Structures are given as structure tokens and as C-alpha cells.
Structure 1
Amino acid sequence: MGAFDTIIFDLGGVLIDWNPKYLYRDVFDGDEEKVDWFLNTICTYNWNMEHDAGRPLKVGTDLLIKEFPEYESWIRLYYDEWPRMLGGPISGTVAILKQLKQKETYNLLALTNWSNETFPVALERFEFLNDFEGIVVSGDENTRKPHKEIYEITLDRYRITPEKAVFIDDNIDNVEAANQMGITGIHFKNPDQLHSELNALGIKI
């Protein structure tokens, strides 16, 4: 089987194109400055990450409306219209996943920072998610990458030997956290780069 027997994929930014700008560009009539201001000031990355770590969407939404009542309607849209943030599959990476699946050589898993309330939308929309033998969703575990706990959960649940696993993520912090666990990390930039790095590790596609 070679040096590696398990490949773990992140989802958003690696296999699935997700971006809140897709929604708010419509909301703000293409005003990119206003979109950036809103997502950097009101519905921020860190606020969203709390829901990825298990906070109920209603709780987080109500907290933010209490802080910024004048923007209530725009804040509510974040999760009311959440499916509009999904841009579609990243086809080049999906092709790599499909080729690996056909080989039947590797355990294929996903480890994603994702709210357990919105993840069912992705499961329904993206057929290729059925190719994984298991998916660890941060919202189900009440922790998230890059915290050590979620890597430990993944390793334990699927009986993974860290040194025999490869982890692919577009967030360098998450990759470095995997490296610290003894997992070989690939910082994803695009499908061609991923293809090359997998080949370099002896994972031929």
C-alpha cells in the first residue's frame, strides 16, 4: 500500500467553493467595498467560526443583532440565505477524489469546519460527498480546526496512524496543526498543485 493509507480532505475551499460574498454582492448591488466592510465588521469570519464549532445559528444571530440592531435584516440573511453562498464544486479536486476512490487503495475521509445546521444542505447538493468513508463535521463535535481535539477525534474514530495519513486544507493554520499531530499536511492552492504534491508523496493519480 505504500507509505500512506489515509487521505483526509478539507471541504470548503478545497472541494466546495463557499464564499459569503456571493450572497452579499447581490444584497449590496455589487458594491465590493460595502461587501468587504460588512463581512469584516459585522458578520465576521470569527463570528461564523463559532457556529462551525457548534454554537447554534439562532444564538449567534441573536447575539449579533443585539450588538448591531441597525443591521438586523442584513445579519439575518447570512443564515436565512446561506445556500446562496455555495458556488459549486471545485471540479479539479473532485476529479482527484474520484480517481483516488477508483483506486480503492486509500481510506478517504473529510474533516471540515462546518455548522451542523447547514451541512445537510451540502450533503444534499454535492453527490461526491458520498465517496468518503467518513466525514468529521466540526459543528457535531463542538470544536474545530486548528484545535488539537478535532484531529484527535478524527484519528481515534477511524483508527488512523498519523504517519500514514495525508491532510489537505486551504488554511495554513489547519495544515500546521495537522503536522504537529504527525500527519503530513498539504497546503491546498489549486487542483494542479495538489496533484503534483500527491504524486511527490508517492500517491500516484
Structure 2
Amino acid sequence: MAAQIDHIVFDIGKVLIHYDPNIPYERIIPGVEERQWFFLNVCTHEWNLEQDRGRSWEEAENLLIAEHPDHAEEIRAFRKHWHEMVPHAYDTVAIMESLIDKGRDVTMLTNFASDTFRHAQELFPFLKKPRGVTVSGDIFMIKPDVRIYEKHAADFGLKPEATLFIDDSFPNVEGARKAGWQAVHFVDVETLKKDLDALGVAY
């Protein structure tokens, strides 16, 4: 039987807020094949992940522009138009806010570049409501590295076995479990409600 849950930790991107880099690039690079090539070969997921690990946007842009000088404008557009990539929040926010209102201990653990996270907090003020947050870009480590979960638990005084983590990435869920946390894979709001019901977490 699972331990009682005293702490609830939310991921942010694709759990609380939508994220899709295609949104501005459908305008910047209208051709579907050209845009797909750009994301597979220039502004790749792996490249963006290094900003989540703490690399500055200036360094990131300069590295790519040196490799792809003909795409300098499109490369700089990633950070310039980042706010368009996070167009709206999910209904999950209502669950998080209800948990906080009920006196639950809620924190957040996210792979996010340091500056874009602060930008996100201005766009979505509810990101300031939980007790606190661990931002990967601030501490130079990213999920699913077990150390980031251990650091979050230590910084916020969480008991791992009494901590529930909610993330849309299954590898990140597995990382939390390796750290001794309970964790659920976020698919959609209705599934999350069923998962919370099964764990006896009222929201």
C-alpha cells in the first residue's frame, strides 16, 4: 500500500501550461517540410534542453548561428517569440489551486530556462501560488536526473515516500520514482483526477 501523500509536486510545461514551438514558426517558416527540417537540424529539442540546463540564450544562439549563418534570423526568433509558444493554461491549474486552497503542500519542479520561467510567471501569475519551485536552469541540472528530485526534496523538506509528482514525460516520472517519490504520468485532466482519486487525494 502506498504511503500517505503529504506533498504534491507539479511539472509545468504540458501539465499546467501548453507549450508548442510550432506556433510562431508556422508564421516564420510557413513551409511544413522546411520547418520540420529546421527543428530536426537547427533549433532541436536537444539544443533547447541545454537552456533548461542553464546555458544562456546568447551562447545558444551564437553557437547555432556559427553553424547555420543563413538561418540567423530564424534562430533568434526562438527566444524572441517564445511567449507565443505558451498560449494558454490547462484545466489542471484549477486542481492545483484547489489543492493549495485546501491547505495541501504544493510545489513545482520544472525543466525550464531561468529567464523564460520568470517570463512565464508574468504571463501566468498562478505560477507564483505554490510554496516554491525548482527551475532546472537555475541549478544546472535537469529531469530525469535523480539528483534534481533529491535537491527539490531537500530544499523544500519533502519526505520522498510521501511526495506525489505529476509530469507529462514518462522518463521524468521514472526519475521521480527512482528518487523514492510516488509519481503519475500526466495524460489529461480527467486521467489526473482518476489518479488522484485512486491515491485518496481530495482536490
**TM-score with structure 1 length normalisation?**
0.95
Which residue does 2:176 correspond to in 1?
Answer: 178
Matched residues in 2 for 1:33 and 1:97: separation? 39
Show CA shifts across 1:31-57 (max 9, x none): 333322211221000000000000111
Moved more, 65-74 or 169-178: 65-74
Aligned length: 201
Matched residues in 2 for 1:65 and 1:7: separation? 41
Matched residues in 2 for 1:134 and 1:187: separation? 21
Long gaps (5+) in structure 2? none
RMSD: 1.1
Which residue does 1:11 correspond to in 2?
Answer: 12
Which residue does 1:100 correspond to in 2?
Answer: 99
Matched residues in 2 for 1:96 and 1:70: separation? 46
SS at match of 2:142: coil
Show CA shifts across 1:61-82 (max 9, x none): 1001111111111111011221
Which residue does 1:60 correspond to in 2?
Answer: 60
- Once the two structures are TM-superposed, the CA of residue 117 in structure 1 deviates from its matched residue by 1.6
Which residue does 2:35 correspond to in 1?
Answer: 35
Matched residues in 2 for 1:37 and 1:6: separation? 42
- Once the two structures are TM-superposed, the CA of residue 159 in structure 1 deviates from its matched residue by 0.9
Matched residues in 2 for 1:191 and 1:32: separation? 30
The answer to whether the 8 A contact 1:57-1:117 is kept is no
- Once the two structures are TM-superposed, the CA of residue 116 in structure 1 deviates from its matched residue by 0.5
Show CA shifts across 1:69-112 (max 9, x none): 1111111101122111111111x1011112111211x2100001
The answer to whether the 8 A contact 1:53-1:142 is kept is yes
Which residue does 1:21 correspond to in 2?
Answer: 22
**TM-score with structure 2 length normalisation?**
0.95
Matched residues in 1 for 2:191 and 2:37: separation? 32
What amino acid sits opposite 2:40 in the alignment? N
SS at match of 1:199: helix
Moved over 6 A (4+): none
Show CA shifts across 1:148-204 (max 9, x none): 221111010011110000000001110000001110111101011001101101102
Matched residues in 1 for 2:110 and 2:8: separation? 13
- Once the two structures are TM-superposed, the CA of residue 118 in structure 1 deviates from its matched residue by 1.2
Matched residues in 1 for 2:86 and 2:35: separation? 16
Matched residues in 2 for 1:166 and 1:87: separation? 27
